Every structure is written in structure tokens, then in C-alpha cells.
């Protein structure tokens, strides 16, 4: 039950950043994963966590390509009716869609068009794709949802606008998504018109976004959420997943990673990931240099990575 808030802003005078993204990854605690890092060669330009489930090691839920500036976020879509019958061939792993897009030489529109033709090979998903214009650096946002093969450009103009995506069809958002979007917009309003983010301002913004991602208010009952689960599903679990930050430890499930991405108009990206996995499920960190894994701090295991996006022109 992941959630992703994103601001796309192509006007330097509006906000001091092009992209502001805040997301929660909700997953079973026992699923093996690697933290935020540069991927092993030959994919050293991809930065994000990795799924370590056998057979799905090259998948991820969110990542950025530091060479071409592409950003992608993957969400499962709750759907009471399966897309494929139980007798259908085994579904392809959805986690591979993120690196496929990041590595693709094709435009986001062409990639989405091709993927929509084979979307039924996967369990329900929503793929969020952000791509910069090679000349201006202005970002365009697309999403593809295979429940109805809908490919939509949700941001292509020069206005600044915030969006939210969760585990429902974007046309039928969960209450936690629509309510959280208002909180996200309130946080962003504190930085409107600011010419540049100081280190102190950036830290305050990141802190506010992590506070949003940690919201445990339950937005229940939620008709859209209830309708997305099988009938007579335990209400206690539905209540748990109706919050932005999901805590369902009795099911060994919940929010296990929180990520904030900020891209400024100088082409500098900072990604901060907080590992919120309960202590008893923690695995040893992979070894690597600070450049590969970022700086780790405190028992909460926060990782910070800063790097230039080589494709992003500097705003004048």
C-alpha cells in the first residue's frame, strides 16, 4: 500500500526546486531488499533500492537515472478482479519496469505506448515516469496503469502542480491520498517564491515531508479502499492500511522505507531514504564506499545521496 507525492515545477520563480517527491514503500517485512545505493556496474548510473527476492534481483520500486534524469516509481494496484485467470502463464515481475524505463533509449511516450500493449503480462500496476526535456530541462510526467491500459500525461505545461499516487486507480484515489495531498501542498506553500534552498531550508523541508510520510491517522471507512479488497476482508487490516504510514506488524507488513527526492534548478539531486523496518527484520547493510551507499547516520539508518543529473541544463 505505497504512496507517492510529487511536485513538478518548471518555473524557477515559483519554487526553488524542479522536482519534490516524497514516498512510502509498504511491503512485507520479510521480503529481502537492498537500501538506496548506486547499482552495480554496468548500471552504476541507476540510484535506488533493489529487490533481492530470488528471481527478481534486478527490480525496484523507485529509482533515478543520473545520466538522463529519468525518475520512476512503481505502485501495485489493488484490484478486486484479477487481470488474468489463475490458469494464465506466470506473470512477469513488475519491479523490472522501473529499470527498463530508466535505461530505455526511447521517449517516455514511446516506452509507455509499447508497455501498454503487453501490460496484461503483469499483475496490476501503476508506473509513474518523469522525464526531462533535453534542451530546457523541464520535466514531463506520465503514468501507465495496466488495469485499463490507460496511459496519461499528467504534467506537461509550465505550471507548478502537485500530485499523489497510491494503490488505486488515479481516478478513484483513496482518502489517505486525497487528504495527504492537501497536507503536501500546505508544506510546499512555505517555500513558494523562495529563490534558492539554503541547507537549513532544505533540511526543514525534508523533515516536514518525513513527518507527512509518518502520519498514522486512519482515513477509514474509505469506500474506494474497501472496494479494492476482496469482500469480507478483515476490517482491522483495512483500517491499518488506510493511513499514510502503515503499521500492521501482526501481519509482518507496513511502511518499511520512506524516500524524499529534491532536484533543484542547478541540476543537483539529493535523495534521502529512511529505513523504518522493525529491528528484528533488519539485515546487514551491503558493503560499499560512501559514494555508492551514501552517508548512513543513526540507528534509524538514514541514507543521504547527493549527485548531479548530467542531463539537466542549468536554469538561467
- Apex CA 159: angle with CA 157 and CA 163, to 5°? 90
Q: Comparing 161-165, 221-225, 268-272, 295-299, which segment has the lowest mean pLDDT?
A: 295-299
Q: Which of 286, 221, 252, 307 lies closest to 47, judged by CA?
A: 307
Q: What is the pLDDT of residue 227?
A: 94
pLDDT in tens, 60-83: 999 999 999 999 999 999 986 655
| Mean pLDDT rounded to a whole number for the chain | 90
pLDDT in tens, 248-281: 999 999 999 999 999 999 999 999 999 999 888 8
Q: Which of 271, 191, 202 lies closest to 22, judged by CA?
A: 271
Whole-structure pTM over 0.85, yes or no? yes
**Which whole number is the average pLDDT over 229-258?**
95
| Distance separating alpha carbons of residues 200 and 136, to the nearest angstrom | 28
Measured from the Cβ of residue 189, the count of other Cβ atoms closer than 10 Å reads 10
Specify the CATH number of the domain 3-308.
3.60.60.10
Measured from the Cβ of residue 102, the count of other Cβ atoms closer than 10 Å reads 26
Q: What is the pLDDT of residue 66?
A: 96
Residues linked to residue 89 through DSSP beta bridges, in sequence order: none
Phi-psi region of 15 (alpha: psi -120 to 50; beta: other; left: phi over 0): beta
Q: What is the pLDDT of residue 134?
A: 83
Amino acid at each position: 500500500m505505497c504512496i507517492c507525492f510529487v511536485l513538478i515545477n518548471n518555473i524557477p520563480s515559483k519554487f526553488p526546486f524542479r522536482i519534490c517527491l516524497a514516498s512510502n514503500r509498504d511491503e512485507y517485512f520479510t521480503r529481502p531488499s537492498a537500501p538506496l545505493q548506486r547499482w552495480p556496474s554496468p548500471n552504476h548510473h541507476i540510484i535506488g533500492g533493489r529487490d533481492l527476492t530470488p528471481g527478481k534481483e534486478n527490480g525496484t520500486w523507485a529509482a533515478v537515472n543520473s545520466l538522463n534524469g529519468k525518475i520512476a516509481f512503481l505502485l501495485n494496484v489493488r484490484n478486486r478482479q484479477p487481470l488474468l485467470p489463475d490458469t494464465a502463464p506466470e506473470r512477469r515481475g513488475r519491479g523490472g519496469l522501473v529499470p527498463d524505463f530508466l535505461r530505455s533509449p526511447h521517449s517516455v511516450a514511446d516506452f509507455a505506448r509499447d508497455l501498454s500493449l503487453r501490460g496484461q503480462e503483469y499483475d496490476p500496476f501503476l508506473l509513474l515516469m518523469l522525464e526531462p526535456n533535453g534542451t530546457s530541462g523541464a520535466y514531463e510526467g506520465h503514468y501507465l496503469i495496466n488495469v485499463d491500459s490507460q496511459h496519461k500525461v499528467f504534467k506537461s505545461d509550465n505550471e507548478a502542480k502537485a500530485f499523489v499516487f497510491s494503490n488505486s486507480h488515479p481516478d478513484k484515489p483513496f482518502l489517505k491520498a486525497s487528504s495527504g495531498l492537501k497536507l503536501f501542498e500546505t508544506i510546499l506553500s512555505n517555500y513558494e517564491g523562495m529563490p534558492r534552498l539554503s541547507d537549513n531550508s532544505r533540511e526543514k523541508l525534508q523533515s516536514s515531508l518525513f513527518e507527512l510520510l509518518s502520519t498514522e491517522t486512519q482515513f477509514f471507512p474509505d469506500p474506494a479502499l474497501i472496494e479494492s479488497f476482496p469482500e469480507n476482508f478483515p476490517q482491522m487490516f483495512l483500517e491499518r492500511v488506510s493511513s499514510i504510514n502503515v503499521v500492521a506488524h501482526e501481519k509482518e507488513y507496513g511502511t518499511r522505507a520512506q524516500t524524499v527526492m529534491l532536484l533543484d534548478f542547478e541540476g543537483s539531486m539529493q535523495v534521502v531514504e529512511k529505513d523504518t523496518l522493525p529491528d528484528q527484520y533488519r539485515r546487514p547493510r551491503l558493503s560499499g564506499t560512501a559514494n555508492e551507499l551514501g552517508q548512513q547516520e543513526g540507528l534509524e539508518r538514514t541514507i543521504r545521496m547527493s549527485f548531479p543529473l548530467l542531463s539537466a541544463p542549468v536554469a538561467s
